[in-house]
Amino acid sequence: MRNLTDKAREAKDKKAAIGPDVDLATFTAEPVAHDYVKDLKTLPVLDRNRLIQAGIDTSESGRSGTYIQMDTAVVHSHAKQEGLEVIPIKEALKKYEWAREHYWKLVSVDADKYTAAAELNLHDGYVIRALPGAKAVWPVQACLYLDKENISQYVHNLIIAEEGSELHVITGCATSPHLKRGLHVGISEFFVKKNAKLSFTMIHHWAEEVMVRPRSVGIVEEGGLFLNNYICMKPVKSLQMYPTTHLVGKGAVARFYSILVGTPGSLMDVGGRILLKAEDTRAEIIARAITNGGTIINRGDLVGEVTGVKAHLECKGLILNGGIIHAIPELQGKADGVEMSHEAAVGKIAQEEIMYLMSRGLSEDEAISTIVRGFLSVDIPGLPPKLQEEIDRAVDMSSKDVM
């Protein structure tokens, strides 16, 4: 661990390769005490509503476990199903060798000042693990919540689907209604072992002055499947992330889906990189971006390193009411016989579609919101219906705001 601390110290001023630089010193990383909540039903109503918006079900029906962290403190953490584990990372690092083995294994602690700060100021984070062969009946839910004005929250998460297991995680990040300014730095490391299946759905609800710097890397072994869904449709000052996944085993598959809505004043720089390093691996990155005044930079990078891999990248943007969408799709084929393609489009809503719907009785506004809703809706093969419903619900709520 000392080695990590030293490396982190050396990188603490290292600016990130992309995205505006955040002055970490302008936020407070001091721990904030929050009481542990044994029964989720006793959470204050106001908070509960914010949690629901971020996909957290406080009744826990249809959930296999829950982790909730408020500011720097864990307020709830437990698994409901045998074979699943939900443990705060600080506790896990103390108790378990396997946790220490996975910690900083995929993300470099000295990647930039944010990874460094996450190590030096680690508040907590979750470890969600499915034991070998365990199949989650329902998704595990996790929430990282910002409550204290001007806080910086540093978390580190490990998500591990052991061999032959199936794990679904829905994670929401949200802020208290009163919170204006804050910083969230989250390190996430995903391990999808042989023949395991992991779906990870993240819904972000930030506030207008919140800066967000997630850093995540995943690895998928032979026969594994990793679905990574990201939804951010609410204002955020600056969000920059470039999650990366390595497909290292034969037949491994990764699919990234993202839905972004850029509101005025928001800057979102969201990428996705999948490296296809083993035979028969498949990758797909699908992004939908809408701006009505914000700036969205949508990056995607597929790297085919061996013969016979297949990968596709699709990035579609709609400019509704001012704003900028910058699509940067990249393909790198490094071997004979790779099949890789991309499709990027930035445009506006076609007048013809609006009128078609109007001729079926919708008003112009109803027609536009129907088209927006359709544009944002993506069917994600392999995602449990319950989670597809959550995504549809988030999109429904937000596509109304877009208007």
Residues that bind another protein (CB under 8 A): 350, 352-353, 355-364, 367, 370-371, 373-378
Burial class (CB in 10 A: 0-12, 13-18, 19+), 101: exposed
- Report, in Å, the least distance between residue 363 CB and another protein: 5
End-to-end CA distance of the chain: 50
Indicate the residue among 4 and 349 with the shorter CB distance to another protein. 349
How many CB atoms lie under 10 A from the CB of residue 30?
Answer: 11
What CA–CA distances, in Å, run from 200 to 47, 142, 230, 355? 23, 11, 8, 38
Q: Return the SS3 of 319.
A: strand
d(CA 183, CA 146): 9
Nearest CB to another protein, comparing residues 332 and 370: 370
Token output for 297: 């930079």
Neighbours of 225 (CB within 10 A): 20
Question: Closest distance between another protein and the C-beta of residue 316, in Å?
Answer: 8
Amino acid at 221: E
DSSP string, 36-53: --SSGGGS-HHHHHHHHH
Closest separation in Å from C-beta 72 to another protein:
40
Residue 398 Cα to chain centre, angstroms: 17
3 or 359, CB closer to another protein? 359
Which C-beta is closer to another protein: that of 188 or that of 399?
A: 399
User: Please, which residue, 122 or 367, has the CB nearer to another protein?
Assistant: 367
* CA dihedral of residues 100, 104, 109, 114 (deg, nearest 10): -110
CB of 356 to another protein, least distance (A): 6
Closest approach of Cβ 69 to another protein, in Å? 34
Do 346 and 319 meet the contact criterion of CB atoms below 8 Å apart?
A: yes
Residue whose C-alpha is closest to residue 179's, from 146, 203, 211:
146
| C-beta closer to another protein: residue 163 or 366 | 366
CB of 389 to another protein, least distance (A): 15
**Residue count (the chain):** 403
DSSP 292: S
> Toward another protein, which CB reaches closer, 364 or 401?
364
CB of 374 to another protein, least distance (A): 3
Least CB distance from residue 239 to another protein, whole Å?
24
Of 313 and 354, which CB lies nearer to another protein in the complex structure? 354
